[in-house]
Amino acid sequence: MIKGTAASDGIGIGKVLVIEEHSLEYTPRTITDTEAETERFNGAVKEFIENTEAQAEALRKSAGDKEAEIMTGHITMINDPYLRGEIEALIKGGQCAESALETMCDMFIQMFSAADDEMMKQRAADVRDIKTGVLSILLGIKEVKVSEAPAGTVLVARELTPSVTAGINKDNIVGIITETGGKTSHSAILARALEIPAVLSVPDAASLFKNDQCVIVDGSSGEVIADPDEEQTNVYTKKRSDFIAERKELEKFRGVSTKSASGEEYELVCNIGKPADAVKAMECDGEGVGLFRTEFLFMDRTAMPTEEEQFEAYKKAALIVKGKPLIIRTLDIGGDKDIPYMGLAKEENPFMGFRAIRYCLKNRDMFKVQIRAILRASAFGDVRIMFPLVTCVDEVRDGKALVEECKAELRAENAEFNEKIPVGIMVETAAAAVLADVLAKESDFFSIGTNDLTGYTMACDRGNSDVSYLYSALQPSVLRMIKRTIECGRAEGIPVGMCGEAAANPQMIPLLMSFGLTEFSVSAPSVLKVRKCISKWTKQEADEVCAKVMSLATEKEADEYLSKVCVR
């Protein structure tokens, strides 16, 4: 059995097709007719865009609009004036088109790869895909076609790029195995959209597996079994049948309200990163948006988005959710999210440094542009403002004062907005959790960010393998922080939600129900699973489980106990 990263749920049993990568080696040469070389480069880009548009259309039909945007994003990237301009400048300086393209793409790949944020790392994969696509055209190499793969095929590749994935016939591909990629990579996103089981980050997969070799892909556990025996095949065939039956069972929870077995109602909303994600949230039966991560509007650009650009993005999301809640988190940069044109200084410990609400309050003009855009969008739906990384009352008061200042400006301009727009905060620091009773008096709502709250409370970096064993929302100290935050919010009569990964964890759900959480904000594909999980618990049962867990002394004890009682 071989272990990788579980990236797309389900069981796939089939025969291997290894996608072999063509050599893209070339001999750099000095160009004298730079005008002809520039024309050759632009011709290759034109062909690349045409190919990509066709791939986007194929993805739109097989997976959906959101997934097609991955491909159209490649077109936006290659058309970036800075990137194109610098490549053409290198060609005019005497470099061949291949060398100029590679030089600039490698620069961006190195920059994005150096980031700690997984979404930024994904940009590096996008640039690699673009470089490969344009370079292949320049060198006259034909792209790999997976559309001709026979039924029952398990694709194996070093990296399954969006351009290759776009050609997948989901009726014929039963599994995907790659050497690279994580749960948030485009390979994973596309595999989930196509509902194909996938295991990523399997070392040396492209050389480990051979064409026509029989394999089992368990995309739920991240395991791959090569050359399974009859008993293993029978076991996993049943698992596959059970998985398909469970997926059908989940459809019963579409279009119904989110209720516990004893009748308590909850709000089940989604986390998104851009307006198009709101479409997926609604398709997956989300009851609104609990977290709109606006920093992704600021990335992949060479300059700050204007007020009008931001307004259109927020307005679009508000119209998509059609009157359901849309909680927009103000810009959260710093830490693992660096945006080069903002000129953030290098810090020894950026997670403890000049980031999120701290940065925004010191850059008031930039912050006002965003707040004005959100306020204007509030005329088109139930839009709410949320400040990230709050640690003290002053930050909330200063942020709210800026909101009032923007309201006054918009009134003077006769612009429409919601005068009573709710303004809340993210509770994701130990300071905010300890001060929750005071902060609740200053806020219209709380949203608990368990990812950062766990890291800050336990003083551990989940990306550091030496201390990652400490990173768990089931740590007694973290549970107490969460419980206190919810109790303080309820005491002041404000709603308390959660937008961290713990909100979708079946082990956490009865605890959160008992604590009194009112809103669960999860990834769109998790909506029906979470709704089903909530429906299985009565408030009394959740209270009994919670009382036991809160009496335990260690994370291990809590995990072992919950592993038994949460199998329902």
The residues that are catalytic are 186, 499
Residues 6 or more apart in contact with residue 462 via CB below 8 angstroms: 451, 454, 455, 468, 471
The three-state secondary structure class of 536 is coil
Give CA–CA dist 76/301, Å, rounded: 10
Q: How far apart are the first and last CA of the chain?
A: 28
Coil vs helix vs strand at 268: strand
- Interatomic CA distance for residues 394 and 399, integer angstroms: 8
Dihedral of the alpha carbons of 116, 159, 212, 209, in degrees to the nearest 10: -50
Please, are residues 533 and 516 in contact by the beta-carbon 8 Å criterion?
Answer: no
- DSSP letter for 334, please: B
Kindly write down the DSSP assignment for every residue of 485-532, as one continuous string: HHHHHHHTT--EEE-SGGGG-TTTHHHHHHHT--EEEE-GGGHHHHHH
Q: Are 33 and 251 in contact (CB under 8 A)?
A: no
Indicate the residue type of 386: M
Whether residue 451 contacts residue 501, with contact meaning beta carbons closer than 8 Å, is answered with: yes
The residues, ordered by sequence, that sit 6+ positions from 233 with a Cβ below 8 Å of its Cβ are 13, 216
Neighbours of 111 (CB within 10 A): 15
Q: Where are the alpha helices (DSSP H) in 300-380?
A: 307-321, 356-362, 364-377
The answer to whether the CB of 82 falls within 8 A of the CB of 107 is: no
Distance of alpha carbon 74 from alpha carbon 169, whole angstroms: 21
The bridge status of strand 5-8 relative to strand 519-522 is: unpaired
| Residue 220 parent element (H or E) | none
Contacts for 227 with CB less than 8 Å, ≥ 6 apart: 213, 214, 215
